[in-house]
Homo-oligomer: A and B are copies of this chain.
Amino acid sequence: MAANSNVRAFQQIIKHSQTNVLLVTKLRGVAIIGAGMVPVLASPEKTLTQLFVDAATKAVDDAGVGSIDSIYVGNMLSGFLQNQEHLGALMATALQREGVPTYKIEAACASGGVAMNAGVKSVLSGLEDIVLVGGVEKMCGYSTPAVTEGLMMAEDRICVASTGVTFVGLNAMIAREYMRKYNVKHEMIAEFPVLCHANALDNPYAQFHRKISVEDVLASPLVADPLRLYDCAGIGDGAAAIILAPLERAHQFTESPIEVLASIVASDSLSLHQREDITTFEASKTASRLAYEKAHVESQDIDVLEVHDAFSMLGIMALEDLGFAKKGEGVKLIASGECARDGKLPTNTFGGLKARGHPVGASGLYQIAELAYQLSNKSDKCQVPNANVGLAQSVGGIGGTIALHVLSRSD
C-alpha cells in the first residue's frame, strides 16, 4: 500500500483562480496514531463523562501525544437519556483540555462513524493536526420503554415514530421482506450472530462471552417477528476513541500508523416508506462506491471488515451492499465460513455490534479502533493474519446515514 499511498499523496489538484493565478491545493494524508476503548457492559458506577474520559485517555496514551488540537464527540442519546448536551466542552473540561475546539456530532447509531469523518475533515482542512475523536453512549439503567423511545429518535417522529412502530419493528419489516424476496430462511440469517458471538469469545472488551448456535437464535424470545432476541444487539454502556494526525507526522508518534484511505458519509431518504427497495441500503452502495474510488481499492482488496449488525439482517445486507456478495446471497457467504477470522473475509472480528456490544454513539469508533488494532497487529487473540486493508461500515437509523472508512497499514 505504501507505493499507492505515495502516488496519491502527490496527486495535486491544480486549479486556476478567477484572477488567473495558479492555486495549488492538495489533500493531506490522515492517519490513526492511537486507539482506546472501555469494555462494553452495564457500568452503573461510571458516568457518561467517565466512560468517555477512560477511552480517550487510553487513546491519548496509546498515541503518546501531548497537546490535542480539537475534540470530536459522537453520541446519540445523551439529551434524551441523561438530559445532558454540550458534550464537547463537558468532555474537554473532564480531560483538562479546555481551550481547544470541541464538537458533538450526532447521526443516530452512526454518530461514531460520522464523528470520525468530521475528525478526518478537520485534519484535511489544515487547521488542526492532532485530533481526538471519541464516541460514547450510556444506555443501561433506564427502562426498556425509555431506551426504545430514545432509539426511535433516529426516525421521523411525526410521520413514523408516532405510529407506535419500534426500531426493531422497522428492522423486522426489512427482514420479513428480504426473506420473502430472496427466499431465505431465518436460520441462514441467524448464522451472522453466531459468527459474532464466536469472535467475541476472544475479545476482553466484548459485552457477551458466550458461544451461541443457530438453534439458540431460533429458540430465543421473539422481539419483532421474525427477529428474535439473539438477532438483536443488546443495550450497553461504552466508549471508544482514536487519535488522528497528518500522515506525514504520524511516524513521529508510532511505528505503525494506520492511513485513512477513505472517509465517506452518505445519506438516504430517512424512512422505509420513502424507498423503492427496503432490502438494500442505497447509502451503503453510494458510500462504498465512493470509498473504493477514493481509496483506490476494490472489495476483494479488503482484508478485514467491520459491519453494522445491530440486527442480524443488517449484517447480511451489508455484505451485499458493500460488494462482497450478490443481493440475496450474503447468507451463502456467511455459511461458507469465509467471514470467520481464518477465512478470506474476516468480519466483525471482535464480535461486532451483536456480541462486542452496541453503545450506539460509540459503536462507529469501536469499529475504527478494532480495525486499527487489526492493521497494526495489536489484536491478541482476535488478530487475523495479513491484514493490510480494512473497511468499517456504520449505519444511522434505518440506513438514512452511512459512514464508511477504508484504512490501511502505512509502515
Contacts and interface: CB of A to CB of B under 8 A. Distances in A.
B86 A107 contact: yes
Contacts of A10: 21
Contacts of A9: 17, 23
Contact of A105 (B103, B127, B286, B396): B103
Interface in A23-48: 23-28, 47
A203 interface: no
A88 B107 contact: yes
A267 B157 contact: no
A23 B248 contact: yes
A167 to B, nearest CB: 11
Central interface residue in A85, A104, A121, A268, by most chain B CB within 10 Å: A85
Interface residues of A, number: 83
Interface in A41-83: 47, 49, 70, 76-80, 82-83
Interface in A263-300: 264-271, 274, 282-283, 286
A18 interface: yes
A27 B24 CA distance: 10
Contact of A19 (B6, B19, B77): B6
Nearest to A102: B267
A106 B107 contact: no
Interface stretch (A147-155, A171-179, A235-243, A363-371): A147-155
A117 B82 CA distance: 27
Given A106-B106, A248-B23, A400-B89, A98 B269 contact: yes
Given A76-B85, A127-B124, A107 B102 contact: yes
Number of copies: 2
A241 B309 CA distance: 35
A68 to B, nearest CB: 11
A77 B85 CA distance: 9
A264 to B, nearest CB: 8
A84 B397 contact: no
A108 B79 CA distance: 11
A115 to B, nearest CB: 9
Contact of A157 (B23, B82, B103, B268): B82
Interface in A112-127: 114, 117-118, 121-122, 124-127
Given A101-B117, A101-B267, A153 B83 contact: yes
Contacts of A251: 18
A83 B124 contact: no
Contacts of A118: 103, 118
Given A89-B396, A153-B85, A266 B27 contact: no
A96 to B, nearest CB: 9
Contact of A88 (B21, B82, B124, B401): B401
A223 interface: no
Contact of A47 (B78, B92, B158): B158
A157 B77 contact: no
23 contacts: A9-B23, A13-B126, A15-B248, A23-B248, A27-B126, A47-B158, A83-B149, A83-B152, A84-B153, A85-B154, A86-B108, A86-B270, A86-B401, A89-B270, A92-B267, A98-B269, A99-B286, A100-B266, A102-B107, A103-B265, A104-B105, A105-B105, A121-B121
